[in-house]
Structure 1
Amino acid sequence: MNTLHRVEGSSTQRARPPTFGCANPARLVRQSVLAIAAAVCVWGVSAQSTPNQAAPAAAATPGAGEVVNSALNAPLFYQLLLGELNVRGGEPGTGYSFILDAARKQRDPLLYRRAVEVALQARSGEAALAAARAWTQELPGSAEARRFELQILLALNRVGETGPVLQSILNEASPADRNDTINAIPQTYSRVTDKNQAAAVVREALGPYLKQPAHAATAFTSIGRMYLAQDQRPEALVSARLGHTAEPASAFPALLALELMERGEQQAEPIVRQQIEAGNINTAADTAVALAYARILIDTQRNMEARVQLERLTARQADQAEPWLLLGSLQLQENALPAATASLEKYMALARQAGDERSARGLTQAYLLMAQIAEKRQDFAAANAWLDRIENADDIMAAQMRRASLLARQGQMPQARALLRSQPERRPEDARLKLVAEAQLLRDFKAWKEAYEVYGEAVARFPDEADLRYDQAMMAEKAGKPADMEVLLRALIAAKPDFHHAYNALGYSLADRNERLPEAKRLIEKAVELAPGDAYIQDSLGWVEFRLGNTARALEILQAAYGKRPDPEIAAHLGEVLWVKGQREEALKIWREGLMLSADNETLQGTLKRLRVKP
């Protein structure tokens, strides 16, 4: 749908009534000759298309070199000229009246549009609405007129009046374009304050299309998005299911289901999987569903499932670049270096062919990944050669971080840190980025004390950044300073009472050390209250319940957390609870899954070593 010009200022401001006098002739005469010429050109073209004036017969089929006269006559020219001169002279109300009157006489859509634009420029929403409604009444088949009317009503917050206009727009849209129009409805109503009223209007307007096979899936999807705008996830899920049932191969309900998955509604996942199975992945929407689903699987560390989706997508659409980049990144995480190299080479070839800005950004990511592959192969010269290809200034820091990692792997940590410190600070955020990069480098090489010190320097320079204070606290624990960690986290809680990570970290640390368990539980429960859908916080709660001896409750919580987010640390805790309960085979199964996710996870390896288990 067309995007409306923004209506600013008071909606009660009115344009002047039509008048054909000139309030200040002397000022109008002094207007620029160029402005007059521009008005003549614009309205001369408009007048040629005037529907109610017949052109001369000879002009119907002009010959070569023959001049076709405009239908613009002297009175119309004068009226339009006065209108434009008033607008340019600071009298938009008078100019609006001239132009709207001419539009009514000529029944010309260009003149109506100009009247609307003048009213909007004058910040008179009511006058703009009057012009748009005159336009729709005079030219009832104009889709543009109805869209202007709809957008102006929304800008004036008169949502209840939009229903008939929306219904007319849908009815008059061609069957081929109607689904696009339906899809645009949630975005059109996105800025409305009264979401309930907007949803009611949209549901009523889309009612007839819910029973039409060609439009039902799209209509249910738009209704679902209206529910989602109100955070009514159960209702949105029902809409997604109904849309999927109406047309299983349609990508639209699946895209809604993906949005629900991102908000924690795991029951939406079957819709996505079934759509991917029913579709042929031969449209942009199908590709978007498959890619978004693969990303969610990667984010939730379901890497094997993500790889299956990406391999299927690249097999069916080998000429699509982005899936190859995702697949290569995933293969690198799995240490499948030859496969990752092949996927990234395929991506780079396709991206170079595309040659657009998005591909340029993707190429930078591919170069970084190729450098990482070379680094894993101990081919530091090749890694540096890949980094040398990065030219974008915004990506130089990422390249230098990788160079620093190369130096550190060669035993040159002081040189690596100096490299990061020497980077110029082109933007205010570069200073922070440099310190975080140095701290992360030290973390990667388990230099906990030094990382703690660098985070301390970052906090001193950026004291209002909660994330930096939290990271400093985490490094304090790693550096063997639990008392410092507690002081830092309590200070962070005092400064930001809604920072759930701080409650969780302090509670988990106490539980893991088997200290002050009732207090640890209270802290973690506060974190759960602030972030109820976080699987890692649920893991902490399960762990403190286990430490308190509530094994059955711990098992229930940990199983739910692991089901929501398969993670090696959650697997370590869940496996230990199962082991203690005597469910040894199930524990071994969970631990093996955790090792497949991350074989070197410290918590998992520590658990297996402590229990003397080799799964």
Structure 2
Amino acid sequence: MPEFVRRRPQLNASLLVLLAAGLLHGLAGAASAPSRAPETPAAPKSDAATAATIHNSELDAPLFYQLLVGELELSTGQTGVAYQVLLDAARRTKDEELFKRVVNIALQARAGDQALSAARAWRESLPTSLAAQQMTIQLLALLNRPAEVVEPLRALLALNPPELRGAVLAGLPRLFQRAPEPKKVLSALEPLLHNASQAKETRVAAQVVLARLALSAGDSKRALELTQSLNQQFPEGDDAMQLALELMPNEPAAEALIQARLQASPDDTKLRLAYGRALARAQKPSDAAREFRAVTLKDPEQLSAWFALGTLELELRQAEAADHALREYLRRLDLAAAKEAKEPGGAAKETSDNSQAEFNQEARQQSWLMLAQAAELRGDLKGAEAWLIKVDSPQRRFEAQYRRASLIARQGRMAEARKLLQGLPENTPDALRAKVMAESQLLRDQREWKQAYELLARATERLPEDADLVYEQSMMAEKLGQLDEMEVLLKRVIAIKPDHHHAYNALGYSLADRNIRLDEARGLIAKALSFVPSEPFILDSMGWVEFRLGNKEEAQRLLRLAFEARPDAEIAAHLGEVLWASDKAEEARRVWAEGLKRDPKNEALLDTLKRLKVKP
């Protein structure tokens, strides 16, 4: 008897009779079967009615009573008794719906083992049932018993026609995506998948699944080998490229596969778009922008490429290029909307497709904000204000108001700018946080370090567990020269949020920049890199600490990687100094010149040039 069974006194016959009428219709279908129609109709029928066959249920009295008792037990909370009674009925009738009912009863009671027992009984009773095999596999995955999946999976593959077996295998990674022991899953399924990879119909699917399971198990080398093999076997297939994109963060060699494919098929805009997105996720904005730029040249109708390119150019502080890409995106978005509206049924389609309309409107709002930022970078404050006025989305209110306040502050009207932000609501912790972050950033931009620190200190008293607010407070403490206070605050951030990579990086960089506790600094920055391995600013910090430790070659390598991914002026300052100290003066000057071109007022770069007595 299952553990969740709870016995109670048996219902009396009178109660069963009273409830029978209401339950008969629903329960009879669980064990119905066609039978002979009445020989003598009660009244004349039309031809259509005569053609219809009346079916009487083969549900006999004992079975009806059993089903009724099971449902009544369930309705009164006796889940275990209902499970046993209905499972016995399912075995007797071999009815699929009744087996499903029993499995669901156990699942709703959170009795996984009992659900699995019911599914196995279902398989035994109906060995050719696809649903029974699928349910058993799903439950075994849920219960973290991958070794037992092999038998029902093999049966499920055999029951499906050859052309559908690949699809059966393709669902396995998703089924086990939350498995607590992914290595155990790989070990259990690898022999079956290896065999499946020998068959023509399942060759590709089996190798793809093996690669994904290997990646989940932390064996990226094995996943890469499978991907390379798949690419060799099917040099024009998409599966190897999709795997390579997934492997990029773990295996640099995977990126070479994508680059080789794009070199062989430069018109493959679908792959190029996916590659660009992967590069952006890997914090390589320059490389990502290159790919999206290529897409816009080859296929200018790709709206998403224009938007992504504008975003990346702005991140790279290429104001003119960002402005062009975003304007082109908006122009093409409006053309597409106008074209759709002219098509038959276009207006009705636009009305019914609310999700797409909402997405387009949100994209417009975001584009206006970015165009305002690009105008601000160019020094066109009037143009920036014109774009910001267009933003009317409630979700973008904080950002738009901050941008407007920033423009006002740059015109010397700081009090007016702060008042604009202080008028924003703070009725929820998120609203308060957004409001404080916006005002503190405004003060920071205007070099009002002390006022920003005090504002953040008051906010962290109200929201003491907000790691981001405490982090911003630590940055203002640094600006004020309160380095001990900064260190205390950063350690508090790490205590609140142990995966806050910015805090590890900031603390490590601060130590490296002061040339103290360098081994500790390296450890902190390495911890930050463990969370975001390719983040350019953290690579920059690691390069700087290696320079402080006297490892010039390693410092150059890391700083070159950082600068290639993000040619930021501060990274240029560090790379240039390392090159200068390595007797590579001409290259150092080129790097500094590029940094100044991107941000001619960058303090770190200007201070470096002044300290080294180098004229820009």
The AA in structure 1 aligned to 2:383 is D
Q: Determine the C-alpha separation between the residues in 2 that align with 1:27 and 1:141.
A: 40
Mark the CA change 1:233 to 1:595 in structure 2 (over 3 Å): closer, same or farther. farther
Match of 2:328 in 1: 342
**Which is worse superposed, 156-165 or 582-591?**
582-591
Match of 1:246 in 2: 233
Mark the CA change 1:507 to 1:159 in structure 2 (over 3 Å): closer, same or farther. closer
Matches within 5 A, 1:11-26: 13=3, 23-26=11-14
Unmatched segments (≥5 aa) in structure 1: 1-10
Give 1:299 shift.
4.8
Q: Determine the C-alpha separation between the residues in 1 that align with 2:597 and 2:284.
A: 11
Matches within 5 A, 1:374-453: 374=372, 376=375, 377=380, 378-379=382-383, 382-388=386-392, 390=393, 393-453=394-454
Match of 2:279 in 1: 297
Give 1:146 shift.
0.8
Are 2:170 and 1:188 equivalent residues in the alignment? no
Among 243, 248, 268, the residue aligned to 1:256: 243
Are 2:148 and 1:170 equivalent residues in the alignment? no
Mark the CA change 1:290 to 1:456 in structure 2 (over 3 Å): closer, same or farther. farther
Among 54, 57, 60, the residue aligned to 1:69: 54
The AA in structure 2 aligned to 1:370 is W
Q: Determine the C-alpha separation between the residues in 1 that align with 2:428 and 2:226.
A: 46
Q: Determine the C-alpha separation between the residues in 2 that align with 1:249 and 1:362.
A: 34
Q: Deviations over 1:243-295 (max 9, x none)?
A: 33333444444333333334x5333222333455667988xxx84x6444323
Give 1:24 shift.
4.2
Mark the CA change 1:419 to 1:332 in structure 2 (over 3 Å): closer, same or farther. same
The AA in structure 1 aligned to 2:48 is A
Are 2:254 and 1:265 equivalent residues in the alignment? no
Unmatched segments (≥5 aa) in structure 2: 40-45, 341-349
Matches within 5 A, 1:569-584: 569-584=570-585
Matches within 5 A, 1:431-510: 431-478=432-479, 481-482=480-481, 484-493=482-491, 496=494, 501-502=502-503, 504-510=505-511
Mark the CA change 1:425 to 1:608 in structure 2 (over 3 Å): closer, same or farther. same
Among 306, 310, 333, the residue aligned to 1:328: 310
Contact 1:220 1:253 in 2 (8 A): no
Q: Determine the C-alpha separation between the residues in 1 that align with 2:152 and 2:213.
A: 18
Contact 2:408 2:414 in 1 (8 A): yes
Q: Deviations over 1:414-453 (max 9, x none)?
A: 2232222222234332111110111123334444343333
The AA in structure 2 aligned to 1:382 is A
Q: Determine the C-alpha separation between the residues in 2 that align with 1:56 and 1:247.
A: 59
Among 509, 522, 525, the residue aligned to 2:523: 525
The AA in structure 2 aligned to 1:387 is V
Q: Secondary structure at the match of 1:193?
A: coil
Contact 2:248 2:255 in 1 (8 A): yes
Match of 1:539 in 2: 540
**Which is worse superposed, 89-98 or 107-116?**
89-98
Mark the CA change 1:102 to 1:573 in structure 2 (over 3 Å): closer, same or farther. same
Mark the CA change 1:414 to 1:26 in structure 2 (over 3 Å): closer, same or farther. farther
TM-score by length of 1: 0.80
The AA in structure 2 aligned to 1:310 is F
Q: Determine the C-alpha separation between the residues in 1 that align with 2:224 and 2:470.
A: 39
Q: Determine the C-alpha separation between the residues in 2 that align with 1:250 and 1:413.
A: 59
The AA in structure 1 aligned to 2:366 is L
Q: Secondary structure at the match of 2:473?
A: helix
Mark the CA change 1:16 to 1:181 in structure 2 (over 3 Å): closer, same or farther. farther
TM-score by length of 2: 0.80
Match of 1:603 in 2: 604
Q: Determine the C-alpha separation between the residues in 2 that align with 1:32 and 1:596.
A: 85
Match of 2:106 in 1: 119
Q: Determine the C-alpha separation between the residues in 2 that align with 1:604 and 1:555.
A: 17
Mark the CA change 1:252 to 1:230 in structure 2 (over 3 Å): closer, same or farther. same
Q: Secondary structure at the match of 2:391?
A: helix
Q: Secondary structure at the match of 2:177?
A: coil
Q: Deviations over 1:547-581 (max 9, x none)?
A: 45553453344345556765443332222222232
The AA in structure 2 aligned to 1:265 is E
The AA in structure 2 aligned to 1:181 is V
Match of 1:224 in 2: 211
Contact 1:150 1:162 in 2 (8 A): yes
**Which is worse superposed, 498-507 or 176-185?**
498-507
Give 1:99 shift.
3.6
Q: Determine the C-alpha separation between the residues in 2 that align with 1:511 and 1:356.
A: 52
Q: Determine the C-alpha separation between the residues in 2 that align with 1:317 and 1:107.
A: 57
Contact 1:257 1:271 in 2 (8 A): yes
Match of 1:7 in 2: none
Contact 2:559 2:575 in 1 (8 A): yes
Match of 1:6 in 2: none
Among 70, 89, 92, the residue aligned to 1:83: 70
Aligned length in residues = 578
Q: Deviations over 1:140-171 (max 9, x none)?
A: 33222111111222333333211111223334
Q: Deviations over 1:455-513 (max 9, x none)?
A: 223222222333322222222333xx22x13322135326746566445434533543x
Contact 2:287 2:565 in 1 (8 A): no
Give 1:195 shift.
2.5
The AA in structure 2 aligned to 1:429 is D
